[in-house]
Amino acid sequence: MIPELGHFALILALALALAQGVFPLIGAARGTLVWMHVGRTTALGQFLFIAIAFGTLTYAFVVNDFSLLYVASNSNSDLPLQFRIAAVWGSHEGSMLLWVLILAGWTVAITRFSHHMPEEFVARVLGVMGLVSAGFLAFLLFTSNPFLRLIPAPPEGRSLNPLLQDWGMLLHPPMLYMGYVGFSVAFAFAIAALLSGRLDTAWARWSRPWTTVAWVFLSLGVALGSLWAYYELGWGGWWFWDPVENASFIPWLAGTALIHSLAVTERRGAFKGWTVLLAISTFSLSLVGTFLVRSGVLTSVHAFATDPARGAFVLVFLGIVVGGALLLFASRAHRIGLGGSFDPVSRESMLLLNNVLLAVAAGSVLLGTLYPLVLDALGAGKVSVGRPYFEAVFIPLMTPAMFLIGVGPMAHWKKTSLPDLATRLRWAFAVGLVTALLVPFAMGGWSTPVSLGILLAAWIVTSSLAGLIERLRLSPVSGGILAKLGANSRSYYGMQLAHIGVAVFIAGATLVLGYESDKEVRMSVGDTIEVGGYNFRLDRISEVPGPNYIASRGDVSVTRDGRAVTTMFPEKRTYGDKKNPMTEAAIDWGFVRDLYVSFGERLDPNTWAVRIYHKPFVELIWVGWLMMSLGGLLAVFDRRYRVAVNKWHAPSSASLLLGAGAAGAR
């Protein structure tokens, strides 16, 4: 009965989504306020009903209702409660439901925080989001229904993949989806602006905080995924260029381009067309990412053939979203003005160059990810595209972009001079260069790739500091250094923090690549081994029962120069009737180094193959991503987004200025 309520709620949600997709758009076109207001109520109702559907499915997992096919396929009664809840989005149907729940959540958020925008604009945004939601709800109900019954109900369900039975599963997918779906807001804003024909700086200002929040979530999602792979897979790597990872990284690259492009559009009114295109592509890539991961097409292109309805729906839906958006863009392109003028050497042009590099990187990763699928589908042979390809392509593309991080923020809007930039940045470059030459020796040996990586990281840090120092020196604010620091906007500090986060990430990735050491040994109780200056001793091996597995656990005591450091407990877990035991690596986390012990196979009852890593500065990788995310968050809380609330009711002051000042717009 309860699952049927959920099913029914989902149908009601679809009806509401359709209403939300139709009435506000017509209302906005005809100027009927009553119709426009429909969007706000239906958004709330839709969220309510999807939440009910989601709640009933979660309930079915919690009470082990195996009469639901989806529950029986993805959970069993031995599974601990938190993983039964995570199992809701453990497979295709449930993740689609999570997707629409989050979409409805973002929509409600728009209705709450949109009082500074014209009602007509809000109505269009809600309308577009309603249409997207209707598409997804229809996809759920007609091809991926999680509420299908399995009669007679089996006494026990199949289990969730043991790899997914981890705290990462509770956090990573929701974060990622918050990001993916958040870009639907940027998309809806862009479409609404195209529909209204008012692509002005105001639109960019409204869209920017939403886009940044989505980007923050996606960044956290990508970082969590990487961290999870690092500690769960047991190979000690943090990025594998796996299609599933790429599916989240491609929208991230496009989204990063988008937030930079939006900065120019908001500040200078330029790149409007490009920003709109990026908003459309970022969301489209998020859609592609969602479907790629969950449709099973990555495991085999023939997954579509076994379920043609799903594949066809996805392709048609993508076609409508992307094609419709691009058609609308093409039909309005002639009305998009040029915005403020700028020189070929200016902050604008540097941001445009950064955008080109990011977009090309996103395109290349997409090409590498889809190429094997397309080739296979065409029957032109099977190839694998992996790390060697992606690294050969990605690193050369990103290196100049990293260099630009240092130069761009120092360049003036409109016009800047290269010799002047060189003078202002010469000390930053010199300090960066010296750091790059010294660090490899301090770490214990010269290595050219490490030195180049550190050069980029140090350059970003020193040039960011040079920018800050210059600001303080030229600050018109009277008073002490604190007053001067306080006068800078939060979005400025957000940018600095995020950029330095990139540097921290590069430093971590470079140092661990250059200086990690590992040994693969056979260890019996009492054996010791030295890795990276630490002494590891296997003290004992014991069998430890878990909630739904039995673990062979090793106690490994770690000493350094005779002093005890820690004791680590690597495990090999056997889940139920699963044949292959899962590796649960033990990690001693530390800022300057991680120690990583992972069991391989059991060679005889008392001996294990053990792999031990010493990974210097590996955590900087995730610290860097966290700094990027926090930087984004700081920028969202900039005062000007709140000031804009009061200012906007006067007719567009910004567009008047641009129209008069830089003129030109056709």
Partner 1 sequence: MITPTAARTMPERLRICVRLLLAAALLALVPLSAPAKTAMPLAADPVLEERLMTLATGLRCLVCQNQSLAESNAELAVDLRNEIREQMRRGASDRDVVDYLVARYGDFVLYRPPLKASTLLLWSGPAILLLLGLGFLVRTLRRRRAQITQIPLSAAARARAQELLGTDSAEEAS
Other C-beta atoms within 10 Å of 57: how many? 27
Tell me which stretch binds partner 1 (CB under 8 A): 144-152, 344-352, 570-578, 615-623. 344-352
* Token pair for 540: 């004992």
Tell me which stretch binds partner 1 (CB under 8 A): 62-70, 76-84, 171-179, 240-248. 240-248
Tell me which stretch binds partner 1 (CB under 8 A): 40-48, 89-97, 191-199, 392-400. 392-400
- HEC profile for 264-316? HHHHHCCCHHHHHHHHHHHHHHHHHHHHHHHHCCCCCCCHHHHCHHHHHHHHH
Candidates 52, 150, 303, 360: give the one binding partner 1 (CB under 8 A): 360
Cβ closest to partner 1, residue 77 vs residue 306:
306
* Token pair for 39: 């969007």
Distance from C-alpha of 522 to C-alpha of 624, rounded to nearest angstrom: 36
Q: Any contact of residue 368 with partner 1 (CB under 8 A)? A: yes
Distance from C-alpha of 337 to C-alpha of 657, rounded to nearest angstrom: 13
3-state secondary structure of 563: strand
Cβ closest to partner 1, residue 129 vs residue 277:
277
Q: Any contact of residue 653 with partner 1 (CB under 8 A)? A: yes
Distances (CA, A) of 126 to 70, 369, 453: 31, 33, 45
Tell me which stretch binds partner 1 (CB under 8 A): 202-210, 215-223, 328-336, 657-665. 657-665
- HEC profile for 337-384? CCCCCCCCCCHHHHHHHHHHHHHHHHHHHHHHHHHHHHHHHCCCCCCC
Beta carbons of 179 and 219 less than 8 angstroms apart: yes
Would you give the DSSP letter of residue 117?
A: S
Q: Any contact of residue 469 with partner 1 (CB under 8 A)? A: no
Tell me which stretch binds partner 1 (CB under 8 A): 248-256, 310-318, 389-397, 501-509. 389-397
Backbone dihedral region of 42: left (phi > 0), alpha (psi from -120 to 50 degrees) or beta? Answer: alpha
Distances (CA, A) of 640 to 189, 412, 457, 488, 637: 19, 20, 31, 12, 8
Beta carbons of 426 and 406 less than 8 angstroms apart: no
Shortest separation between residue 326's beta carbon and partner 1, angstroms: 16
* Token pair for 236: 């000690």
Tell me which stretch binds partner 1 (CB under 8 A): 91-99, 189-197, 355-363, 621-629. 355-363
Tell me which stretch binds partner 1 (CB under 8 A): 40-48, 117-125, 237-245, 564-572. 237-245
Shortest separation between residue 583's beta carbon and partner 1, angstroms: 9
Phi/psi at 409 (nearest 5 deg)? -65, -20
Count of positions on this chain that bind partner 1 (CB under 8 A): 70
Beta carbons of 373 and 301 less than 8 angstroms apart: yes
Candidates 240, 317, 569, 648: give the one binding partner 1 (CB under 8 A): 240
Tell me which stretch binds partner 1 (CB under 8 A): 66-74, 319-327, 378-386, 422-430. 378-386
Cβ closest to partner 1, residue 33 vs residue 603:
603
Cβ closest to partner 1, residue 97 vs residue 633:
633
Tell me which stretch binds partner 1 (CB under 8 A): 287-295, 315-323, 377-385, 588-596. 377-385
Contact set for partner 1, span 178-217 (CB under 8 A): none
Shortest separation between residue 366's beta carbon and partner 1, angstroms: 10
Other C-beta atoms within 10 Å of 478: how many? 7
Q: Any contact of residue 256 with partner 1 (CB under 8 A)? A: no
Beta carbons of 395 and 389 less than 8 angstroms apart: no
Candidates 108, 193, 397, 401: give the one binding partner 1 (CB under 8 A): 397
Distances (CA, A) of 224 to 129, 271, 625: 27, 33, 9
Q: Any contact of residue 356 with partner 1 (CB under 8 A)? A: yes
Shortest separation between residue 237's beta carbon and partner 1, angstroms: 8
Contact set for partner 1, span 583-642 (CB under 8 A): 600-601, 609-610, 640
Write down how long the chain is: 666
Cβ closest to partner 1, residue 413 vs residue 429:
413
Distance from C-alpha of 142 to C-alpha of 506, rounded to nearest angstrom: 45
Contact set for partner 1, span 526-545 (CB under 8 A): 526-530, 537-538
Cβ closest to partner 1, residue 119 vs residue 242:
242
Candidates 492, 566, 588, 590: give the one binding partner 1 (CB under 8 A): 492
Q: Any contact of residue 664 with partner 1 (CB under 8 A)? A: yes
Q: Give contact residues for partner 1 (rule: CB under 8 A).
A: 235, 237, 240, 242-243, 299, 338, 341-342, 344, 349, 352-353, 356-357, 359-360, 363-364, 367-368, 371, 375, 380-389, 392-393, 397, 413, 488-489, 491-492, 519-524, 526-530, 537-538, 580, 600-601, 609-610, 640, 650, 653, 656-657, 660-664, 666
